[in-house]
Amino acid sequence: MGYSPGERYGSFALRSVTRIPEYESEGLYFVHDPTGCSVYQLRNDDDENLFAFVFKTPPTDNRGAAHIIEHSVLAGSRRYPIKDPFVALMRGSMNTFLNAMTYPDKTMYPASSTVKKDFFNLLEVYGDAVFFPLLRKETFHQEGRRYYFDGAGTLEVDGVVYNEMKGNYSSHDSIAGEWSYRSLFPDSVYRFDSGGQPEEIRDLTYEEFVKFHERWYHPSNCRVFLYGNIPPEETLTFLHERFLRRFGAPLPEHLAAARSKIESQPRWSKPTRVRLTSPAGDQTDSGGGGATITVNWLTASIFDPLLVLSLEVLTEILLAHSGSPLHKAVVDSDLGEDLSPISGLDTDTMELVFSVGLRGTVPSRADAFERLVESALLDLARDGIPPDVVTGALRRVEFRHREVKGGAPFGLRMLGRAVRGWLHDEPPERTLEFEPWMRKVSEHAKREGYFESLIRAFLLDNPHRSTVIVVPDPAHVEREEERYDRWRNRRVGELEADGKKRIDEETAAFQRFQSASDDPAVVATIPSLSLSDLPREVERVPLNRIDGEAPAFYTLEHYTNGVVYVD
């Protein structure tokens, strides 16, 4: 059937219809009038249908509430009050993807399946989880952080996210990667780690955890992405009946949360430098060459797809392989061992970060590394980039964007592109479309000095730059333990008269929660597939034989996004 803007589908209004030929799709944008929830379907003939609930969740501190909520909503909900409904769900599912991810400014819950009944089973459990989670205190203690006294009477902290982030901050490369972008955003929400820093996760309270969900997980702050061939009216009816009709009009605080704009980072007039330490591990100390130095620039907004794609091609030109000019300059410099894996263009934030890093070096070479990078960029801007290097980069970037890879649903890639701008109230198509912007980049590339002008504007003449130096330090772990001891002493000193007793009672309740078994009758309510739900016909691949003097040649017509494959 055809769709036209202005049509109504129950409580949903169809706001826009956009044909997107490169994906053989139609983009349909709906808004749920009672709550303000927005839904975007990339409708096509693909039977691997995907959905995702996406919430804007900018952090206001380093306590990791967004990350802990992501873990916790999947641990029991109003309709499915068991400890891990997703384990039961997966036993009766043919899903091709099922996960949840926390980003610096958003949290996403995607899942997909090629079986229609399975798609709605997944949607049922996911939707109930994100909108109506139980958020039990025991779940917070399990997934986030919990206090307990060990056998010696010492206060300790445990928890899935707490331990996960302790591991993250024990990795030299993770620390360097985290601060390579955070160092550029001292006045923005991106200065915080949405995953949480262990020393601050320890202070997150259960009440703050619950309030975070109340603030951000309202439909007015939800974007639902759909991909595939299921008619949108079926999914819209399902969303309204199962979830959205239970919400009234957005409360003022929810509306404020939904419309809260992530502000751009004010630009600097001069660069800055940040020095940090990491656990020494197997690396040498600060004098032995185990340090990483990164030079990082805050560049363009995610809202300009032409500029974003141009910077992606420029990154390909500079760093893609060992023969790329900036990559080669770093490796041949003898200032360190190798190019840092952190190097490249980071597009996970509202404003893009470009980084180039050196690992296996010493801190005293920071000045020399800055000069090396600047000199290599100056040479390219002055002497020009060879045309064949530009052509190769354009082809590689275009192929990478076009190729429909195996291993993950194609709809998942479309979700990532659409939500870039949609999260910030741009039309999903603006950051979803690739082909028209690739044509424009290719046209601009024919102009003499195009990429050289980008080097000048966003790198050489851009003072919003940070140099981050991360040094393996044998004393790092000892300092962390000292901070932990000071925190313990402070926390114990703050406990009320019955504080230790309450922690012991919570520990006992948590242990009972973990050891208790779910009611089999409740587990049985988790939707699952039966044999009758599965396709009965084997899918046959139609091959066309072309006869000739050579051996038989077969062709297969299939959507490959403009890429031709020959075996």
pLDDT at position 153:
92
Q: Residue 256's pLDDT band (boundaries 50, 70, 90)?
A: low
Q: How far apart are CA 132 and CA 125, in angstroms?
A: 10
Average pLDDT over residues 404-426: 93
pLDDT at position 494:
87
Q: How far apart are CA 325 and CA 468, in angstroms?
A: 22
Size of the chain in residues: 567
Q: What is the pLDDT of residues 350-385, one digit of tens each?
A: 999 999 999 999 999 999 999 999 999 999 999 999
Q: How far apart are CA 297 and CA 30, in angstroms?
A: 37
CB atoms within 10 A of CB 76: 23
The DSSP element (H or E) to which 56 belongs, if any, is: strand 49-56
Q: Residue 138's pLDDT band (boundaries 50, 70, 90)?
A: very high
Of 73-82, 214-223, 399-408, the poorest mean pLDDT is in 399-408
Average pLDDT over residues 116-140: 97
Chain center to CA of 75 = 21
Q: At what angle do helices 206-216 and 65-72 cross, to 10 degrees?
A: 80
CB 427 within 8 A of CB 16: yes
Q: How far apart are CA 356 and CA 344, in angstroms?
A: 6
Q: Residue 96's pLDDT band (boundaries 50, 70, 90)?
A: very high
40: helix, strand or coil: strand
- Mean per-residue pLDDT over the chain, rounded: 93
Judged against a pLDDT cut of 50, whether residue 286 lies above it is answered with no
Nearest Cα neighbor of 351 from 462, 222, 276, 225 is 462
pLDDT at position 250:
66
pLDDT: which is higher, 257 or 483: 483
pLDDT at position 285:
46
pLDDT: which is higher, 55 or 348: 55
What percent of the chain lies above the pLDDT cut of 90?
A: 85
Tokens encoding 480? 């962390």
Q: What is the pLDDT of residues 165-185, one digit of tens each?
A: 999 999 999 999 999 999 999
Q: How far apart are CA 219 and CA 242, in angstroms?
A: 13
DSSP per-residue letters across 491-553: HHHH--TTHHHHHHHHHHHHHHHHHPPPPHHHHTTS----GGGS--SPP----EEE-SSSSPE
| Residues classed as catalytic | 70, 143
Q: What is the pLDDT of residues 501-536, one digit of tens each?
A: 999 999 999 999 999 999 999 999 999 999 888 888
Q: Give the phi and the psi of residue 191 in degrees, each rounded to 5.
A: -75, -15
Judged against a pLDDT cut of 90, whether residue 424 lies above it is answered with yes
Q: How far apart are CA 562 and CA 435, in angstroms?
A: 10
Of 9-13, 282-286, 317-321, the poorest mean pLDDT is in 282-286
Nearest Cα neighbor of 314 from 457, 115, 125, 454 is 454
On the CB side of 526, CA atoms within 13 Å amount to 23
